[in-house]
Amino acid sequence: MGFPMAGHLLAAGHDVTVWNRTEARAEAWGEQYGGAVSATVAGAVAGCDFVMMCVGDDPDVTAVAGKALPAMKPGAILIDHTTASAACARAVYAEAQSAGIAFIDAPISGGEAGAVNGALTVMCGGDPEAFEKAVPVIDAYAKAVKRLGPSGAGQLTKMVNQICIAGILQGLSEGVNFAQKAGLNVDDVIDAIGKGAAQSWQMDNRASSMGRGEYDFGFAVDWMRKDLRIALEAGKTVDADLTLTEQVDGYYAQVQDMGGGRKDTSSLMLRLK
């Protein structure tokens, strides 16, 4: 995700230096976009007004932020696009505050295609002043940017996003499977119902490929299970009923057991075959 996002920043006229835990990825970015590459976190962030981070999970955020914050200049803004826990976001926010750095938790939605096309949705938590400064920069790779509240609010909103997607994809899987077993043409069915109450982004972009048994469209089951784990853990802390989310998470576990961990999230269809 960060690979094309950094490219959009460069194309928008910003001076960009990238660092990646896999050095070859950073070098490939430099070759493709012509931007600067650093061998260290400190070298990448030194003197920057904005630092963007997009890694895997809470431990990754903590580790990378721990290297970035001491090397950032006072008054700079650290923006984390990782999908992580709200508790992690609040912890990094506190660490940043003590270092004179602003921090925004800013998880993203839109998948690989959204990153490539500069059309991501960015859900932000943090102080209003830092958010207002960051919006014109984030706009380089986003179609929508919104502050939802204080630190952690962006991550909580991303949890809502994933909870909703899980339920929609399970319903869509069952619907497409039903259409096939009833002898209907899936594309014709989607054309008929896709402009009515059943319409969704997932239907528009995944129903036909699900009907063809194609599940190679970016966001992997392994990552979705990480996101749902975070949401289910948070649900317990706020006493929210996430019965359907827990059920669909179990279905994704079955897809993993079938060897589908790297297939995209529409591969829920596999367990119905």
Residues forming the active site: 158
Hunting for tokens 């399970």 — which residue is that? 170
Q: Is 259 exposed, middle or buried (0-12, 13-18, 19+ CB in 10 A)?
A: exposed
First to last CA, the chain: 31
Report residue 263 as tokens: 């297939």
Closest CA to 117 of 142, 134, 82, 145: 142
**Whole-angstrom distance, CA of residue 79 vs CA of residue 154:** 11
The CA dihedral of 248, 254, 259, 261, to the nearest 10 degrees, is 30
Report the alpha-carbon angle 159-164-168, nearest 5: 150
Cα dist. 73→9, 98, 131, 176, 245 in Å? 20, 13, 18, 53, 41
The CA dihedral of 156, 111, 114, 101, to the nearest 10 degrees, is 40
Q: In the chain, what are the helix, strand and coil shares in percent, each to the nearest 5?
A: 60, 10, 30
Q: Is 266 exposed, middle or buried (0-12, 13-18, 19+ CB in 10 A)?
A: buried
